[in-house]
Amino acid sequence: MIADFSKDGALGLLTLDSPPSNSLASPVFTDRKELAAFLADPALKGVIVTGRGRHFCGGADRVALESAMEDPDRLAADLAKGKELLDIISFALVPVVAAIRGQCLGGGLEIALACHFRIAAGSALFGFPEATMGLLPGLGGTQANPGRMRRQALIDLVLSGRMVGADEALEMGLVDRVVAKSKVEDAARERIDELTGRRPAAVVRAIMESIHNARRMDRDAALKRETILFRELVKRKS
């Protein structure tokens, strides 16, 4: 497990910490309960996900992956657990921004796609190399829909296994902004501040929950919950 958690006031930092490339020895890159508890902190207003050192994440460790493939059933179970981790990030009640430098490949790209926003260094490199290994992305990469990304672009990226630079990733809709390498984390902080500003954490979390409910509930249930959340915020102001 390679995730390191820290806080800077109302900002949470999730750092993939296995230099030099922060490769994943397992799809289960952190403890589920620890991740859920970290994101559930009521004082948080945003989270940045980044990698230690030069790279965001180089994807699966090749040696570890080859060993894991000797037991396909166990590997499938670990992939399911990894997808649960990405769902926890995707449904976080605060905005989560990936700050990407260097390699962002395979499982690393799938982690980035689970975040709500992606800011990349101009020198960052993206791709799903799994097809070149006779595999496919196993942590939801084929289901990716980061917003402006066209279906054709996803097919191109996943099926070809080719690598793309930050500018092409921006054109594809894979990332939201490209900045200088030295400015990536500052830009991620600025994005969270733009979104949350001086608003109380409770307001941020209520808005995020209501937005997520459109994907997790049927429409009637989501609308009823929206009313409950609205009422709770009104009571806070009283």
Q: What is the pTM of this model?
A: 0.96
Closest residue by Cα to residue 162 from 206, 196, 125: 125
Q: How confident is the model at residue 146 (pLDDT cuts 50, 70, 90)?
A: low
CA 92 to chain centre: 10
User: Could you tell me the residue range of the domain that residue 211 belongs to?
Assistant: 199-237
pLDDT for 132 equals 93
Q: How confident is the model at residue 2 (pLDDT cuts 50, 70, 90)?
A: confident
Verify that 161 and 101 share a domain, yes or no: yes
Asked whether 79 and 138 are in contact (CB, 8 A), the reply is yes
Verify that 187 and 206 share a domain, yes or no: no
**By 3-state DSSP, what share of the chain in percent is helix, strand and coil, each rounded to 5?**
50, 20, 30
Verify that 158 and 233 share a domain, yes or no: no
**How many Cα atoms sit within 13 Å of 166 on the Cβ side?**
19
φ and ψ at 55, to 5 degrees? -120, 150
Residues of the chain with pLDDT > 70, as a percent, come to: 99
pLDDT for 122 equals 98
Distance CA 135, CA 127 (A): 14
CATH code for position 7: 3.90.226.10
What confidence tens digit (pLDDT) does each residue in 187-198 have? Answer: 999 999 999 999
CA 159 to chain centre: 22
Tokens of 171: 């054109």
Verify that 219 and 111 share a domain, yes or no: no
What confidence tens digit (pLDDT) does each residue in 121-142 have? Answer: 999 999 999 999 999 999 999 9
Q: How many domains does the chain have?
A: 2
Mean pLDDT of the chain: 95
Residues annotated as catalytic (active site), given as ranges: 110, 130
